[in-house]
Chains A and B, each alone.
Chain A
């Protein structure tokens, strides 16, 4: 069975600080996909990134970066120089070939960025 753990329930930072959101997953499949979504107060899920299990390259997109490490089953997300607009709930998700690619979501991490 697949499982996603986001141990941080809530993180509070001051603007311009860097912040890392942790995600640890469990799966028996060798082929799987990992995702990060942002959910602002409006509720809509915003797709941020998808990474497949065969691609461990880290990725950077502007102030966002992702660190995928299969050895520790982690897919952490870092926001550099955080801004108030980054305040949202962030979900990590895992989908497997064996699970028909239906994602399992972590509990989410609420990020609050104070001005």
Chain B
């Protein structure tokens, strides 16, 4: 069964608003979670690594102030797209390892964001 959940599954918002996406590990604690972005017909691109209790590590080219990540507990990481614009419309996917250092990531079902 699913081990990582995401909420919401899809969201439509107006340009300029902020959107929060939640990622939860369901039956394990995840000190590290990962956020990916996928444009239509493209591959997954890692945006940032979310670390429980500390700052997230962002990949080159990803704006920290635009994509706020908070990993306040061992089972929850949130991604907030601030002042969203149409170009932020994408499929956002989170993942987590069942145990630290594990080689297999489990992916959430993804969140489709459409910014009008």
A: which residues have CB within 8 A of B? 33, 35, 37, 42-45, 47, 50, 52, 91, 95, 101-103, 105-108, 110
Whether B103 contacts A102 by the Cβ 8 Å rule is no
Beyond the given A47-B107, A106-B43, please list 20 additional residue pairs across the A-B interface where CB-CB is below 8 A: A35-B104, A42-B109, A43-B112, A44-B107, A44-B108, A44-B110, A45-B93, A45-B107, A45-B110, A47-B106, A95-B103, A95-B105, A101-B97, A101-B103, A103-B105, A105-B43, A105-B44, A107-B42, A107-B43, A110-B41
Whether B46 contacts A101 by the Cβ 8 Å rule is no
Smallest CB separation, B65 vs chain A (Å) = 23
Chain B residues closer than 8 Å to A50, beta-carbon distance: 103-104
B: which residues have CB within 8 A of A? 34, 41-44, 46, 49, 91, 93, 97, 101-110, 112
